Amino acid sequence: MKTIVKIKVVVSTVLLLMCINEVFAQVRIGGSVANELSGEMLPGASVKVVGATIGVSTDEKGNFSLQVPNLQVSLSISYMGYLPREIKLNNRSAVKILLTPDA
């Protein structure tokens, strides 16, 4: 009887750990933000995960790296003087985002 209880405890623990790992799993993505017309990189652009509090700014070369919950999230990208844009990752871990100047 004690063996059955021990087996149930071990199985329950393993299942719990698998669930916790799934909840806290993160994927690192990277990319760049540039001007759609000139190709000029945009330093300081805001890149955020839609519906979350996760976000970063692009570096001096317009590049960013970000931890996301999964590769199905959408990103919201904005930069002063440009139209904001929202993109879905669609299983991509690297993206080049082009922003259109706001006339």
Is 54 in contact with 66 (CB distance < 8 Å)? yes
More confident: 22 or 70? 70
> Which of 31, 30, 67, 62 minimizes the C-alpha distance to 45?
62
Instruction: For residue range 50-65, list pLDDT tens digits in order.
Output: 999 999 999 999 999 9
Q: Looking at residues 81-96, what average pLDDT do you find?
A: 96
Q: Given pLDDT bands bounded at 50, 70 and 90, which one contains residue 103?
A: confident
Residue 21 has a pLDDT of 46
Check residue 81 and give left, alpha or beta (phi > 0: left; psi -120 to 50: alpha): left
Quote the tokens at residue 79.
Answer: 């930069």
Count the neighbouring beta carbons within 10 Å of the beta carbon of residue 20: 10
Instruction: For residue range 7-51, list pLDDT tens digits in order.
Output: 666 666 655 555 554 455 689 999 999 999 999 999 999 999 999
Within 14-93, strands assigned E span 27-35, 46-49, 55-57, 63-68, 74-78, 85-88
Residue 3 has a pLDDT of 74
Pairing of the two strands 46-49 and 55-57: antiparallel
